Amino acid sequence: MNQYDVTVIGSGPGGYVAAIRCAQLGLKTALIEKYPTLGGTCLNVGCIPSKALLDSSEHYHNAHSVFAEHGIGLDNLTVDMNRMIDRKAGVVKANVDGIAYLMKKNKIDVLQGVGAFVDKNHLSITPTGGGEAQQIETKNVIIATGSKPTVLPFIAQDKQRIITSTEALNIREVPKHMIVIGGGVIGLEMASVYARLGAKVSVVEFLDSLIPTMDRGLGKELKRVLGKIGIEFFLSHKVTGATREGDTVTVTALNPKGEEVKFEGDYCLVAVGRVPYTAGLNLEAAGVAMEERGRIKVDEHMQTNVPGIYAIGDVIRGAMLAHKAEEEGVFVAETIVGQKPHINYLLIPGVVYTWPEVAGVGYTEEQLKEQGKAYKIGSFPFKASGRARASGDTDGFVKVLADKTTDEILGVHMIGPRIADLIAEAVTAMEFRASAEDVARMSHSHPTYAEAMKEACLAATENRAIHM
């Protein structure tokens, strides 16, 4: 029987990063994955393929709607969905092949099959395609099995016309009318892909705002901007059902007045969040305790109630983000060897990869109001940015929230061009507990989108913005 210092179950960003860090620290490491490719949801049917399609659809949208103002004329513009989907598949393959290479480089044993506990120190791995299970012995286990799309019990998803985000990444035609249930990150990213390609898109959201976990001002601006590419929004609508007849899907919902309304389209995407995935782990055999919403209960060291068994990423509390899982994977690996790592969950940024992009880190304005915290705001619109004007990306703003007394940056919320990258400056500043004036006094290259961060910090520092 093979023996390991650490066995990681699940090869998504949390799992494979944990395995690599364990190997770097000199631990004999195994990684169990039930699918034939590594990388989990993120690399196979999540972050990576969705970004590939977002990029392709943005190119088409620009060619269709923006090139003319740059003096570039095109005739007979077409969308080849087969080629677009095939390119996305190529991007995914390159990434998952890269993870397989990293496993070999770090001498990590990859065991293909479904991992389950026999007891706290023994795991069985049953080949996914059937066959005899093998057993291994391990001192430590890191559970990193991720999440799956939430299913609405009153909607039968046939995965052809009534679909989840997984199937939405493989549609080989431009929908005539896509109805998206859910105005969160996944729903809006997929909505923007198909709206840019020419589909009519309707987003039906139960709450009264989009991206409800982020600063409210971001959702308001994103609704305005996405409305310009034709996406229709129906907020405060409670979906009651979705049925399919042939190629037609009918979604029923109650509007804010409680009246029933119907939406007819050829596709319905259900994007109402994700739930932890622990099926098949046989956690009871190891005595691992659970908590609400199907999550695994862990302490501040990400250890379960069973010593030596840890859990990270989407199966535990906190935001379901790939980079959060990665940080936790490193944290657990270093904890196992006796180091004292640290994660500040407040400073893990959230990003929406629509165009314009959206990101936030730290406290939202709503949270500061709830706390009764005295704060000041500095805001700078991209329409006042020379770089944004040059590229035609003038929608959005950067908003900085700083402590009224100490000037320490408490939160940064952005919507605009290249925001997914720009938010890293805010994270860096806040990790070092910078004041708004600290950032305002740092030189930023001109002309760049990043100047908007400097200007917002200037605005928070005695209203000193230069270009507004």
Write out pLDDT tens, residues 132-155.
Answer: 999 999 999 999 999 999 999 999
User: Under DSSP, is residue 275 helix (H, G, I), strand (E, B) or coil?
Assistant: strand
- Give mean pLDDT, residues 225-234: 98
Whether 2-149+275-345 shares its CATH topology with 162-272 is answered yes
pTM of the model: 0.96
Q: What residue ranges do the domains of the chain occupy?
A: 2-149+275-345, 162-272, 356-460
Q: How far apart are CA 305 and CA 310, in angstroms?
A: 9
- Give mean pLDDT, residues 264-283: 97
Q: Is there a contact between 411 and 368 (Cβ–Cβ < 8 Å)?
A: yes
Average pLDDT, the chain: 97
Q: In the predicted model, is pLDDT for residue 1 greater than 90? A: no
Choosing among 3.30.470.20, 1.10.8.50, 3.30.390.30, 3.20.20.70, the CATH entry for 356-460 is: 3.30.390.30
Strand runs (DSSP E) across 246-345, as ranges? 248-254, 260-265, 267-270, 274-276, 309-311
| Helix or strand run (H / E) with residue 9 | strand 2-9
Q: In the predicted model, is pLDDT for residue 72 greater than 90? A: yes
Fold of 2-149+275-345: FAD/NAD(P)-binding domain (3.50.50)
Report the pLDDT value the prediction gives residue 128, as an integer from 0 to 100.
85
Would you name the residues annotated as active-site residues? Answer: 446
Write out pLDDT tens, residues 362-387.
Answer: 999 999 999 999 999 999 999 999 99
Write out pLDDT tens, residues 108-119.
Answer: 999 999 999 999
Contacts of residue 345, Cβ cutoff 8 Å, sequence gap at least 6: 318, 319, 324
Q: In the predicted model, is pLDDT for residue 462 greater than 90? A: no
Helical ranges in 154-197 per DSSP H: 165-168, 185-196
Closest listed residue to residue 316, CA positions, set 165, 119, 143: 143
User: Under DSSP, is residue 86 helix (H, G, I), strand (E, B) or coil?
Assistant: helix
Write out pLDDT tens, residues 413-453.
Answer: 999 999 999 999 999 999 999 999 999 999 999 999 999 99
Write out pLDDT tens, residues 233-248.
Answer: 999 999 999 999 999 9
User: Under DSSP, is residue 309 helix (H, G, I), strand (E, B) or coil?
Assistant: strand
Report the pLDDT value the prediction gives residue 55, as an integer from 0 to 100.
97
Q: Report in angstroms the alpha-carbon separations of 417 from 187, 268, 290, 414, 421.
A: 20, 29, 41, 9, 9
**Length of the chain, please?**
468
Write out pLDDT tens, residues 334-357.
Answer: 999 999 999 999 999 999 999 999
State the residue for tokens 């915290």: 373
Closest listed residue to residue 108, CA positions, set 372, 426, 333, 369: 333
Q: In the predicted model, is pLDDT for residue 5 greater than 90? A: yes
Q: In the predicted model, is pLDDT for residue 32 greater than 90? A: yes
Fold of 162-272: FAD/NAD(P)-binding domain (3.50.50)
Report the pLDDT value the prediction gives residue 459, as an integer from 0 to 100.
97
Q: Is there a contact between 14 and 144 (Cβ–Cβ < 8 Å)?
A: yes
Q: Is there a contact between 302 and 328 (Cβ–Cβ < 8 Å)?
A: yes
Report the pLDDT value the prediction gives residue 131, as an integer from 0 to 100.
87
For the chain, give me the number of helices (H) and strands (E)?
14, 22
Closest listed residue to residue 20, CA positions, set 136, 120, 137, 142: 142
Write out pLDDT tens, residues 75-110.
Answer: 999 999 999 999 999 999 999 999 999 999 999 999
CA dihedral 157, 161, 167, 171 (to 10 degrees): 180
